[in-house]
Structure 1
Amino acid sequence: MTDIAAVLATSPVIDGHNDLPMALRARAGYRVEGLAADRREFHTDIARLRAGGVGGQFWSVYVPSDLPEAEAVVATMEQVDAVYRLVAAYPEDLAIAYTAADVTAANRDGKIASLIGIEGGHSLASSLGVLRAFARLGVRYVTLTHNHNTPWADSAADEASSGGLNDEGRAVVAEMQRIGVLVDLSHVATATMHAALDAATAPVIFSHSSARAVTGHRRNAPDDVLVRLRGNGGVCMVTFVPAFVSAEVAAWTEAAEQEWARLGLPEDADAWPRAPRPGEEIPARPVPEQGPGGDHPPAAFRPWLAAHPRPEATLGQVADHVDHVRETAGVDHVGLGGDYDGCDRLPAGLEDVSGYPRLLSELAERGWTRADLEKLTGRNVLRVLQAAEEHATEPLWPSTTLGRDRP
């Protein structure tokens, strides 16, 4: 049996997507103290990152895609600030990283490399200047859309309007790759995936998507796209979101949302609470946001829940998706993007960021070798990061004492 501890010592997990910055805004008023251990209102704290063998984390700087674009830029800046404040609060454990070499250097120093990814092109406000400004702050990927279209790209959750990408969208992709920002195809429509791959001259990623052939969710990557990752050199980082990995959970979620709407129950008004004003401290809000999947359902919804208990996704189902991406795209094109703190619960066995070793053990039992697992955990995404750096003709990430010198 493969020694999982040895895998993680040599190639720690570099996870593609964690929404802790959003959770800090929603539940802690952006306070970053007390995250060393035992923060059970979150899926993430430093002790559990260590237990999970995490050596690199792309922190998602997500803001809702229905915000006006100018407001989205401001909110995204606040999220970027939260990442820097988080890292500054735990200098013995976390280090900002901009490049593959930075990640390696942070791990050599016993630290968890912290990278930044923007989840949705609405945060750019259709401005290449805003894109370049975020790149100078260290943003290393931008998801082209979230759940609404941008003026230049189609989302998987919206009505098509750009034919995937329009000319403006292709210009955004070209500029991202020119300055070394990874193009992320999670959340986008299938036509957008193909259009971006047609335009791409450097590897792309899916920061948190699973396999549509295994679970037919619109957020997952179809086989014809996964096959194209071979030629592109990109990587699909399999996510753990229950509705994306379990057809049973996906069906239950759709039915629950329909019943919630039929009952006329309100959407959670605090799903995107405001940030603190200068001089203000917003009280902690430890109870998760409510909705059909929440832990504290309203009385009107309880009879339906009693008659339709929520199914649980499993670690084995996640492993099925990892296996399928490997079989379809190849072992050099698969990674992990858990989406911790971005959904209300995770599959059994993967409840928080300490669970990665259990998934690796399951894959080892299925015949994954040590070399295979090392590609999955970190080597593939490091290769993609480095390829994006080498392709960039005007890299705009900040200089740093970590890693190699840059122009």
Structure 2
Amino acid sequence: MWISWWLWPLVAICAGDRFRDEAERIMRGTPVIDGHNDLPWQLLTRFNNQLQVEAANLTSLTHTHTNIPKLKAGFVGGQFWSAYTPCDTQNKDAVKRTLEQIDVIHRMCQMYPETFVCVTNSTGIRQAFQEGKIASLVGVEGGHSIDSSLGVLRTLYHLGMRYMTLTHSCNTPWADNWLVDTGEDKGESQGLSPFGQRVVKEMNRLGVIIDLAHVSVSTMKAALSLSKAPVLFSHSSAYSLCQHRRNVPDDVLQLVNQTGSLVMVNFYNDYVSCKKEATLSQVADHLDHIKKVAGAGAVGFGGDFDGVSRLPLGLEDVSKYPDLVAELLRRQWTEAEVRGVLANNLLRVFEAVERVSDHTQTPEEEPISLDKLQDSCRTNYGYSEAPSFHHQPGVLLASLTTVLLGLCLL
């Protein structure tokens, strides 16, 4: 049937409304679980973690991508809040700073119990959905937060951490970060050192999801090969569409497919378009590409809201998720695929991680060797007498020389 040219805009608007209405219908039953939001960092930098300051009220918070009304408008039903501390805290007060950010997440749940509920498992997420609350989970962003300590890793688990990003934008003494692939950092661990492998194994045992955002390609491949459970990229996009080293290349996406893992697409313009400007449609392109290479079960949302300075046109804050879902429907994603990207893919991965976990297994105990640690701000209790203590070759030679000289002088 012929339609006059001036009716086409009206037809497009009506079609757009149809997809948006359909998106909202689906999201009422399956809300968004987002993989990464840096609101706790905003609460630190703007209010020094003082949540009772009037301007910090999350029902009216301004100049952020996230507040309670925006979360509700965006049908967000689950959120991994980032407990983030910058790389310059490494070998200093990283553990203290991380504990403070975990505390902020817990206090958000305490101050706004009608909106947030802190949960630590997939069952808790599903229960929060039923109660109409936002399931709030702790994701620790950067392996430097454990200060190369398996004991700290276990302690953060007990405090609610359910994923840990193995590195941020710096190497740890046991894992290489993405800047190694740009040449800005030097690879030190060939992906994962022996201690890094123990960290991965202990995360599997505990039931902590391994997050590979921010790591080097060699670290990605090492972790994907070693982990007994699926892993995730909490906020990364597709390297084939934007050649930024924070993104995931196709050969790794194939490993994601083989391991049942998950890539939660980042909305930061620099990772979406490799330019200062980007659009919602370009974000959908990344979702399409990951779906094509790794499968529809490998795709999620990891917006990186409140952790980035530039966001795509149409995805300016957390309220815009229904518009992105409408775009996927417009691109003929099925309802099942949409429910997957919203929440079901993450729940599948989380449940698989929970099945692999086994707290009856003996914990990993062997510490990192002392020579791998910087000692400017740390003590070395336990190393000098421990059975597994390994002297550095130079130190051992010097010690033997001293002993022999002493014997000669007798």
Please give the TM-score of this superposition, normalised by the length of structure 1: 0.80
- Residue in structure 1 matching 2:320, options 351, 355, 365: 355
Matched, 1:4 2:23: yes
Alpha-carbon distance, 1:230 to partner: 1.5
- Residue in structure 2 matching 1:63, options 67, 85, 88: 85
Cα distance in structure 2, aligned partners of 1:234 and 1:10: 24
Q: Is 1:119–1:146's contact at 8 Å kept on the other side of the alignment?
A: yes
**Residues 354-381 of structure 1: CA deviation (Å, up to 9, x unaligned):** 0110111111111111111000000000
Alpha-carbon distance, 1:233 to partner: 1.1
How do residues 198-209 of structure 1 correspond to structure 2 at under 5 angstroms? 198-209=225-236
Q: Is 2:90–2:145's contact at 8 Å kept on the other side of the alignment?
A: no
- Residue in structure 1 matching 2:241, options 198, 214, 225: 214
**Residues 107-148 of structure 1: CA deviation (Å, up to 9, x unaligned):** 111100000000000001010000000000110000000000
Q: Which residue of the partner structure matches residue 287 of structure 2?
A: 322
Unaligned runs of 5+ in 1: 250-311, 397-407
RMSD: 1.3
Q: Is 2:269–2:275's contact at 8 Å kept on the other side of the alignment?
A: no
Q: Is 2:190–2:219's contact at 8 Å kept on the other side of the alignment?
A: yes
* Distance verdict in 2 for CA 1:36–1:73, change over 3 Å: closer
Matched, 1:96 2:118: yes
Q: Which residue of the partner structure matches residue 359 of structure 2?
A: 394
Cα distance in structure 2, aligned partners of 1:125 and 1:192: 18
How do residues 112-123 of structure 1 correspond to structure 2 at under 5 angstroms? 112-123=134-145
**Higher RCO, Cα 8 Å, sep 6+:** 1
Matched, 1:173 2:200: yes
Q: Which residue of the partner structure matches residue 6 of structure 2?
A: none
- Residue in structure 2 matching 1:372, options 318, 324, 337: 337
Report the secondary structure of 1:61's partner residue. strand
Q: Which residue of the partner structure matches residue 238 of structure 1?
A: 265
Identity within the alignment, %: 48
**Residues 319-354 of structure 1: CA deviation (Å, up to 9, x unaligned):** 111111111110011100000000123111111100
- Report the residue type matching 1:145 in the other structure: T
Alpha-carbon distance, 1:70 to partner: 4.4
Q: Is 1:35–1:46's contact at 8 Å kept on the other side of the alignment?
A: no
Q: Is 1:226–1:325's contact at 8 Å kept on the other side of the alignment?
A: yes
Cα distance in structure 2, aligned partners of 1:101 and 1:69: 36
Cα distance in structure 1, aligned partners of 2:267 and 2:57: 22
Q: Is 1:389–1:395's contact at 8 Å kept on the other side of the alignment?
A: no
- Report the residue type matching 1:227 in the other structure: Q
Q: Which structure features the higher share of helix residues?
A: 2
Q: Larger Cα Rg: Structure 1 or Structure 2? A: 2
**Residues 294-337 of structure 1: CA deviation (Å, up to 9, x unaligned):** xxxxxxxxxxxxxxxxxx21111111111111111100111000
Alpha-carbon distance, 1:229 to partner: 1.0
Unaligned runs of 5+ in 2: 1-17, 180-184, 362-410
Alpha-carbon distance, 1:395 to partner: 8.6
How do residues 187-202 of structure 1 correspond to structure 2 at under 5 angstroms? 187-202=214-229
Alpha-carbon distance, 1:68 to partner: 3.0
Cα distance in structure 2, aligned partners of 1:316 and 1:376: 16
- Report the residue type matching 1:183 in the other structure: I
Matched, 1:78 2:100: yes
**Residues 262-292 of structure 1: CA deviation (Å, up to 9, x unaligned):** xxxxxxxxxxxxxxxxxxxxxxxxxxxxxxx
Cα distance in structure 2, aligned partners of 1:22 and 1:128: 25
Matched, 1:136 2:158: yes
Cα distance in structure 2, aligned partners of 1:356 and 1:71: 36
Q: Is 1:349–1:358's contact at 8 Å kept on the other side of the alignment?
A: yes
- Report the residue type matching 1:175 in the other structure: E
**Residues 162-192 of structure 1: CA deviation (Å, up to 9, x unaligned):** 1111111111000001100000000000010
